[in-house]
Structure 1
Amino acid sequence: MYEYAIAWEWLAFAARWFHVITAIAWIGSSFYFIALDLGLVKRPHLPPGAYGEEWQVHGGGFYHIQKYLVAPAQMPEHLTWFKYESYFTWISGFLMLCIVYYGGADLFLIDRHVLNISPPVAILISLGSLALGWVVYDLLCKSPLGRNTWGLMAVLYVVLVFMAWGYTQLFTGRAAFLHLGAFTATIMSANVFMIIIPNQKIVVADLIAGRVPDPKYGQVAKQRSLHNNYLTLPVIFFMLSNHYPLSFGTQFNWVIAALVFLMGVTIRHWFNTTHARKGRPTWTWIVTVILFILIMWLSTVPKLLTGETDTAAVAPAFQQFAGDPHFPAVKQLVSTRCSMCHAAEPVYEGIVRPPNGVMLENDAEIAAHAREIYIQAGRSHAMPPGNITDITPDERKLLVAWFESAVEGKKQ
């Protein structure tokens, strides 16, 4: 049974690695084409239908690129489609959501101080919110409001802020931020799968059939691409936030999320304006720094992170791990090797908040994090960092024996 914990940890690592690789591919190609599109120059010698061109140098050679807003007069012999980067980024992200948050719903997804629900209900809410988000977003884009690009983006911002608040009323702070990222990423990937690629296929089919493509398909795709452009950086922030409790472990976490979306706009505006050769609006960086300082302030105003451990939520874990004969020795070990950092008020120099919001000050907290202790400090030497508290090999063996004994005891 304990082998399952190790295998599950490696599965989570593989999924995260897969997700990072595909995300790099998607975001990299997206940023490149946005910069390319904004940098196009109109010149008299361009062929009919060409909107602009760009000369670039890379890898020891020169590239001459031309863009057609609708389509060229004839279908090219080879056409490269950029879509799988988006699809696999979403698939790998959803896989991680299943492994970490659905598989560990009692610890990572549900905070019974926020909403006392069962894991199946929490998972259904999670899935439903992702699907509903796309439906609402798509209907807004197709409504009369969709003809006003910036008015639509303002409404979408209100929707995102509402979702930020809503998720914090349903899940743990960590899960709320992760879901906000997943909610936004689902919209972005669905834009590619449901709108951008299908519209481009219609244009290609018209070309093959000898018909003149309707410009509306390209215009709609461009609007959705613009949304993806401004949503990318906030999604990255939310995906990284689970490593930084100061971002999500505060009563103002939904306000922080709202400000993160604004920072995504200001940062992308600088790059978009620069790539379009319309100047370098340095004011955007000033606004971004102010917003970030405000976020830092909001993260410390409550003085105490909310945390995510609930005695009621970990009752089964408490009975299983705190009742094991090894537990008294483990408790003493954790109190001397771990709790100087993993405490509500850490005493270790330079640590002002418990790392990742994990506190190990009482029986319930130690039992709740038994699996993490087993993996991080028993089976591996990841904790303590650099073995700063001089945990011995025999003490690591004790942690392993404790976890495996408790797991085997539950089987019997």
Structure 2
Amino acid sequence: MEPIVWEWANFLVRWLHVITAIAWIGSSFYFIHLDLSLRRREGLAEGAAGEAWQIHGGGFYHMVKYMVAPAELPEKLTWFKWESYATWLSGFCLLAVLYYHGANLFLIDPEVLNLPWWGAILISLGALGLGWHVYDRMCKSPLGKDDTKLALAGFVFLVAVAWGLSHVFSGRAAMLHVGALIGTIMSANVFRLIIPNQRKAVAAMMAGEVPDPALGKAAKQRSLHNNYLTLPVVFLMISNHYPLAFGTRYSWVIVAVVLVVGAAIRHFFNSKHAGKPAPWWTWGVAAAGMVAIVALSTVGPKDSVAASPASADFAQVEEIVTSRCSMCHAASPVWEGIAAPPRGVRLDSAEEIRRHAGPIRSWAVLSNAMPPGNVTQITPEERQVLAAWTDQLPR
């Protein structure tokens, strides 16, 4: 019964995480668009930075933004924070259900670093907490006064984290943890700075004081960071389903390229929303980045050997797959904690092995995603036998 309970916990928490993430990303994109589309005109109220007219759902909306605060605080004020908090909390629950509960299968790869399960979990928690602290210190340092320098420093920091985690966790867990760190930074920006600064502004108004403009400026900087990080974090969080992203030799370089691609795409739309000339060059950067990612994914896993046999007998292939894969990929898996064959893929017969030749190539030849954490200790030479066999098959 326990594997079934954890399987449904995984599904339901993942569902909740997707729902809350949609709500958070949607509201974030909307307010960035609104902020950039504001236009000044004569006759606006004192302190108003601009206005925007919008139409939706059969009605017109008139939006006005105050750079600091309006002269009088309205009786009803809507706060946008729970989308962020719920996304992080559900994401952390999903991390615990999938990676902490299944640490020996998904979090740890003994060939990368042979960690005890508790040690891997402590490193995971430390990476999230320390990562946020380093980012926050960077923003509050002199670097924070120059957005360009801060962005470059943040990029170098995240790439360094990706490289470091690739030497600690399994490829799947390393890439997902970079996404989890970015998600933690984004949510902590809301919880630790954006909302507190807004509360300070409201408290100042209620005390009859003029709010400090620096509060809004700092909050806007963090909000802009969240906006540019959104596309990369979505890529990283779904990467665990795609072995050519996380299970290859240069997965940390792929993270670096994704950060650039995501930022380029957001820059295009932010410029369009602001009414500036469309920077079409950003799509060239994005396209070149995706070509680079595909090329990097073809290099293969880091444990690949120099040469593979010219051909492979299917009896060899069947023996390798049966001994290394079928304990999970069977009608009745014998691996503890797995109630059904992952993704519905069975590899417990010659017919099923031939039918899944394509996924075998992606998950065990072009990447080292399977077996997860190499728990069955498949060798580089065995992967090359699988490579030779899949090379012989018609595409």
What is the alpha-carbon distance in structure 1 between the residues aligned to residue 375 and residue 262 of structure 2? 42
Hey, what does 1:233 align to over in structure 2? 231
Partner SS state of residue 199, structure 2:
helix
Displacement of 1:305 in angstroms is 8.3
Write the mapping of 1:162-181 to structure 2, written as runs, cut at 5 A: 162-181=160-179
Question: Does the 8 A contact of 1:250 with 1:305 survive in 2?
Answer: no
What is the alpha-carbon distance in structure 1 between the residues aligned to residue 40 and residue 60 of structure 2? 19
What is the alpha-carbon distance in structure 1 between the residues aligned to residue 290 and residue 98 of structure 2? 28
Question: Does the 8 A contact of 1:246 with 1:305 survive in 2?
Answer: no
Question: Does the 8 A contact of 2:249 with 2:299 survive in 1?
Answer: no
The amino acid that maps onto 1:188 is: M
What is the alpha-carbon distance in structure 2 between the residues aligned to residue 337 and residue 54 of structure 1? 62
Partner SS state of residue 9, structure 2:
helix
What is the alpha-carbon distance in structure 2 between the residues aligned to residue 37 and residue 339 of structure 1? 54
Write the mapping of 1:98-113 to structure 2, written as runs, cut at 5 A: 98-113=96-111
The amino acid that maps onto 1:336 is: A
**Against the structure 1 CA distance between its residues 333 and 154, is the aligned structure 2 distance closer, same or farther, given a 3 Å change threshold?**
closer
Displacement of 1:279 in angstroms is 1.7
What is the alpha-carbon distance in structure 2 between the residues aligned to residue 130 and residue 301 of structure 1? 30
Partner of residue 247 from structure 1, selected from 245, 249, 253:
245
Displacement of 1:180 in angstroms is 0.4
Displacement of 1:78 in angstroms is 0.6
**Against the structure 1 CA distance between its residues 363 and 106, is the aligned structure 2 distance closer, same or farther, given a 3 Å change threshold?**
closer
Question: Does the 8 A contact of 2:247 with 2:301 survive in 1?
Answer: no
Displacement of 1:304 in angstroms is 8.0
Partner of residue 201 from structure 2, selected from 203, 214, 225:
203
The amino acid that maps onto 2:221 is: Q
Displacement of 1:239 in angstroms is 0.6
Deviations 1:324-346 (A, max 9, x none): xxxxxxxx97132543366xxx3
Hey, what does 1:13 align to over in structure 2? 11
Hey, what does 2:363 align to over in structure 1? 354
Write the mapping of 1:279-290 to structure 2, written as runs, cut at 5 A: 279-290=277-288
What is the alpha-carbon distance in structure 1 between the residues aligned to residue 375 and residue 264 of structure 2? 46
Per the normalisation by structure 2, the TM-score is: 0.81
**Against the structure 1 CA distance between its residues 92 and 78, is the aligned structure 2 distance closer, same or farther, given a 3 Å change threshold?**
same
The amino acid that maps onto 1:150 is: T
What is the alpha-carbon distance in structure 1 between the residues aligned to residue 206 and residue 45 of structure 2? 20
Write the mapping of 1:2-401 to structure 2, written as runs, cut at 5 A: 3-302=1-300, 321=334, 334-340=348-354, 346=357, 348=358, 352-354=361-363, 357-358=369-370, 364=376
Partner SS state of residue 158, structure 2:
helix
Deviations 1:200-258 (A, max 9, x none): 00000011111011100000001111111111110000011011000011110000000
The amino acid that maps onto 1:269 is: H
What is the alpha-carbon distance in structure 2 between the residues aligned to residue 120 and residue 71 of structure 1? 48
The amino acid that maps onto 2:290 is: F
Displacement of 1:98 in angstroms is 0.2
Unpaired runs of 5+ residues, structure 1, are: 323-331, 367-412
**Against the structure 1 CA distance between its residues 6 and 33, is the aligned structure 2 distance closer, same or farther, given a 3 Å change threshold?**
same
Question: Does the 8 A contact of 1:167 with 1:176 survive in 2?
Answer: yes
Displacement of 1:93 in angstroms is 0.2
Question: Does the 8 A contact of 2:25 with 2:230 survive in 1?
Answer: yes
**Against the structure 1 CA distance between its residues 337 and 223, is the aligned structure 2 distance closer, same or farther, given a 3 Å change threshold?**
same
What is the alpha-carbon distance in structure 1 between the residues aligned to residue 376 and residue 301 of structure 2? 23
Question: Does the 8 A contact of 1:19 with 1:89 survive in 2?
Answer: yes
What is the alpha-carbon distance in structure 2 between the residues aligned to residue 261 and residue 60 of structure 1? 38
Displacement of 1:294 in angstroms is 0.5
The amino acid that maps onto 2:354 is: M
What is the alpha-carbon distance in structure 2 between the residues aligned to residue 87 and residue 225 of structure 1? 15
Deviations 1:282-341 (A, max 9, x none): 1101110010001000000237887xx9x99xx9xxxx948xxxxxxxxx9713254336
Question: Does the 8 A contact of 1:110 with 1:172 survive in 2?
Answer: yes
What is the alpha-carbon distance in structure 1 between the residues aligned to residue 377 and residue 282 of structure 2? 43
Displacement of 1:13 in angstroms is 0.3
Partner SS state of residue 362, structure 2:
coil
What is the alpha-carbon distance in structure 2 between the residues aligned to residue 43 and residue 197 of structure 1? 29
Root-mean-square deviation over aligned CA pairs? 2.7
Between 194-203 and 140-149, the greater mean CA deviation after superposition:
140-149
The amino acid that maps onto 1:245 is: P
The amino acid that maps onto 1:66 is: V
What is the alpha-carbon distance in structure 1 between the residues aligned to residue 363 and residue 354 of structure 2? 9
**Against the structure 1 CA distance between its residues 206 and 337, is the aligned structure 2 distance closer, same or farther, given a 3 Å change threshold?**
farther
**Against the structure 1 CA distance between its residues 304 and 154, is the aligned structure 2 distance closer, same or farther, given a 3 Å change threshold?**
closer
Question: Does the 8 A contact of 1:252 with 1:298 survive in 2?
Answer: yes
**Against the structure 1 CA distance between its residues 305 and 236, is the aligned structure 2 distance closer, same or farther, given a 3 Å change threshold?**
farther
Deviations 1:244-280 (A, max 9, x none): 0000111100000000000111000000000001021
Alignment coverage as a number of residue pairs: 341
Displacement of 1:149 in angstroms is 1.3
Displacement of 1:10 in angstroms is 0.3
Hey, what does 2:392 align to over in structure 1? none
The amino acid that maps onto 1:221 is: A
What is the alpha-carbon distance in structure 2 between the residues aligned to residue 112 and residue 303 of structure 1? 15
Question: Does the 8 A contact of 1:249 with 1:305 survive in 2?
Answer: no
